[in-house]
Amino acid sequence: MVGAKSYVIKSFSNGAYVDGLFVGETESERTVLGSLQPLGEDMKRLPEGLDSSSTLKFYTRSKLRTSDQGEQREDLLIFEGASYAIHKAQVHTSGAPLPHGKYWLERKGNQ
């Protein structure tokens, strides 16, 4: 994989809704090898101030949990001190020279 580097992935498990609140998650970290590439940057001038957003593509042979996979929080990728939520995956297991996944990442806000 061209330009592959190590990145920290945060994973969450065992969360559940109790009395309307999502609680009880355990957090773990691991390192995966992959290639991170820019996808989009945006800046908006809003009444509350300037607001930016950032999206990335991540190519890896490791399997990551995405936000559309049931009742468990998605994995987060840490890049330059910011957390990126992993939303969608295109998994290429056949036809590609090397099986890999292409993931769509979105930077999370501070709140």
Partner 1 sequence: MTYTPTEFELAVYRWIDSRLDGCTVIYANQGSPRPESAHATMLLTLDSEAAPPRTYLTDEASGVDFISVTVTEKQAVVSIQTFGVEAYQLLKSLVDGRRNTDSKSFLTSENLSIRGVSDVQRIFSPREADIEGRAVVNIDFGYSERLENIVEALEEVIATLED
Q: Which is nearer to partner 1, 23 or 33 (CB)?
A: 23
Q: Which is nearer to partner 1, 60 or 66 (by Cβ)? A: 66
- Least separation in angstroms between CB 105 and partner 1: 16
Read off the DSSP letter of residue 74.
P
**C-beta atoms surrounding 55 within 10 Å:** 15
> CB 32 → partner 1: shortest distance, Å?
21
- Work out how close the CB of 67 gets to partner 1 at its nearest, in angstroms, rounded to a whole number: 7
Residues that bind partner 1 (CB under 8 A): 15, 17, 19-23, 67, 70-74, 111
Separation of alpha carbons 85 and 98, rounded Å: 25
Give the residue carrying structure tokens 């065992």: 14
> Which tokens go with 22?
């999502």
Token reading at 70: 């049931």
Q: Of the two residues 6 and 14, which places its CB atom closer to partner 1 in the complex?
A: 14
